Structure 1
Amino acid sequence: MTVTDGIDPSARPTGTGCADCDAAGGWWFHLRRCAQCGHIGCCDSSPGRHATAHWKSTGHPLVQSFEPGEPWFWDYGTNELYESGPELAPPAEHPADQPAPGPADRVPQDWRKLLQ
């Protein structure tokens, strides 16, 4: 199943990491990219859950994984997974040398215990 509504393929990612975690000095587990505006937020396993917060504040329900090798989309509004969708403006994933969780200098040693 593919998805196309609510997606702006020309919207570029806002950065290589979670914009909200970066602003607050936090860390993330995995990253999600808003398919409508390009906002990069952290996943629901991350302490901040910023991708979901972005959806709730903007009404942009569709995200694509921003992890290497994960082209899927998720619709927060319907709780549906889409294996594919339109190609979004590059880059399609965070840099390969960027660790998950990340950024490396802000991830606590007990990070596994802190996942949601």
Structure 2
Amino acid sequence: MSPGAEQGLPQCRECLALGLAWTRLLTCMTCGWVACSDDSPGTHAREHYRETDHPVVTALASETTWRWCYVHERTV
């Protein structure tokens, strides 16, 4: 089981459904959806972008200001 699954912490729902573990979680800056990063087996944050055109994500860790834009394939 992936980190936080039993404690009610943020998690990648798609990874949980598929039995995958994630490397780190990202949050969609448009709608707040939480999904796994590109360095995780599922790459569900990128999949969310492809489905919704929500282009910018941030790391779930609150102490970071890092942002990634899928449109431009770079940090913003």
Of 25, 30, 54, the residue aligned with 1:31 is 25
Structure 1, unmatched stretches of 5+, are 1-14, 83-116
Letter in 2 for 1:47: P
The alpha-carbon deviation at position 22 of structure 1 amounts to: 1.8
Distance 2:37 2:61 in 1: 11
Of 36, 50, 56, the residue aligned with 1:56 is 50
1 or 2 for the larger relative contact order (CA 8 Å, sep ≥6)? 1
Distance 1:35 1:19 in 2: 18
User: Which of structure 1's runs of 4+ aligned residues deviate more than 4 A?
Assistant: none
After superposition, the C-alpha distances for 1:44-73 in whole angstroms (9 at most, x for unaligned) are 111000000110111111101113532211
**Greater fraction of residues in strand:** 2
RMSD: 1.5
TM-score by length of 2: 0.78
Which structure has the bigger radius of gyration? 1
Aligned length, in residue pairs: 68
